[in-house]
Amino acid sequence: MSGIQLLLIAGVSLITIFFIQRMKAAVFSVLLIALLCLAAIFFILQPELTSRIANYIGVGRGADLVFYIFILLFWFILLKLYARIRKLEAVVTELARKISINSALNETRGND
């Protein structure tokens, strides 16, 4: 096992531990990250397998295949975060409206 493999496995393991500690309640997310961690470690230890898979599906190198997959994952996560931010903005707007209406009602009741 080379030094870069040890470094990559340590990095993947630390990221996984950090994520699992923060997301204990989200069982699906913890399971997904654990499976991704195991797959990452497997492909780190067997880099020639990514090249074989890449050649089979028509991509030149295994590193290119991993890069393309991460671009897709990045866009998926980006769009998911965008949707979540929009939802949170709608919730904050609704809360601000309710607070304003309640404040205005309390002021008019106090003036009578």
Query: Residue 19: what pLDDT?
Result: 85
* Separation of alpha carbons 108 and 28, rounded Å: 49
Query: Residue 112: what pLDDT?
Result: 55
The residues of the chain scoring below 50 in pLDDT are none
Taking the complete model, does pTM exceed 0.75, yes or no?
A: no
Q: What 8-state DSSP symbol labels residue 60? A: S
Return the closest-CA partner of residue 36 out of 70, 82, 80, 63: 70
Q: Which two tokens stand for residue 92?
A: 């904050």
